[in-house]
Amino acid sequence: MKKKSTIAARMLALLCLISAAQSQISVAQAPPGRMAAQPSERVAGLSYADIADLADGASLVAQARIGNIVKLKPEQAGTVPAGHQRVYIEANVGNLIRGEGGISPVVSYLYDAPLDARGKMPKLKKAQVILFARPGTRPGEIQLIARDAQIIASPAEIERVKAILSELVASDAPPRIVGLGDAFHVAGTIAGEGETQIFLRTENGDPVSLSVLRRPGQEARWAVALGEIVDEAARPPARGSLLWYRLACGLPDSLPARSVRALSPQDAAAARADYQVVLNALGSCGRTRAVR
């Protein structure tokens, strides 16, 4: 009885932090990008882009084992999406994967558990999970960054999360793309020859640019440069790398008018065509998560 009273007290303390009409769990808004994924691009449920979205938005990433679970009543839960049950969870942290300020050995949080066709919750008790979260307002409390920011912690998924986080925190990590800057096109001396350079706008202001080179009788070649100068060593990014993710999920579907405002109509058309070469080579962003 005492244990149940303790759980109830903790749950009520957490519920005091949210209003009855609003969810503490934020709904993930995926960054702009070409989001449709082909079935062949899906790997073990979540794609590279799915995991990168979660990892990039979380200041806390931890592996934990779910302990106590309490279903919230409708008057306690606030607004819950259809097909979900909001629950209060206490979990034992086994490994802090990311989090400069550390984390409590036992954490509590709210989670919207998806229901099956019979309206049943998945079995969460004792499940090993990876949590993508931010600190809560009280010690031991965390807030998931998205409704689906709790995933099963298989060995392969743990290694994939660690690898992506290592890329994200590397000193040479590519910056987030926030838009397109100016585009330039220089036509060659013979038909079918030309070069386009497109500058990207980044969150931290670091220079990133795309270059596309056309030669008669050859396929167009493109590269991305992280720096002021584009050299011969510049290459397209490997699919499933952080740089690929930044481009495939961050670039808009077309070159906007402001990017080609200084070009002649003919050069602007060539720059737009070359931009499509880049998009086609990158392929779809590959996001598969239902939460948007």
Q: How confident is the model at residue 29 (pLDDT cuts 50, 70, 90)?
A: very low
Residue 16 in this model has a pLDDT that exceeds 70: no
The third-level CATH classification (topology) of the domain covering 2-39+48-169 is OB fold (Dihydrolipoamide Acetyltransferase, E2P) (2.40.50)
With 80 as the cut, is the pLDDT of residue 197 above it? yes
Q: What is the pLDDT of residues 97-137, one digit of tens each?
A: 999 888 999 999 999 999 999 989 999 999 999 999 999 99
Is residue 195 a contact partner of residue 185, using CB atoms and an 8 Å limit?
A: yes
In the structure, what pLDDT confidence band is assigned to residue 34 with cuts at 50, 70 and 90? low
Where, residue-wise, is CATH 2.40.50.120 in the chain? 2-39+48-169
Q: CA-CA distance, 156 to 30, in Å (whole number)? A: 24
Distances in whole angstroms, Cα of residue 123 to Cα of each of 69, 115, 116, 127, 231: 10, 11, 11, 8, 54
Return the axis-axis angle of helices 242-250 and 155-169, rounded to nearest 10°: 80
Least confident of 38-47, 115-124, 140-149, 270-279: 38-47
Mean pLDDT of the chain: 86
Q: How far apart are CA 62 and CA 131, in angstroms?
A: 5
pTM: 0.82
Amino acid 291: pLDDT: 56
Q: How confident is the model at residue 192 (pLDDT cuts 50, 70, 90)?
A: confident
Closest CA to 249 of 280, 194, 219, 287: 287
- From CA 257, how far away is CA 261, in angstroms rounded? 6
pLDDT per position as a tens digit, 43-64: 348 999 999 999 999 999 999 9
d(CA 167, CA 174): 9
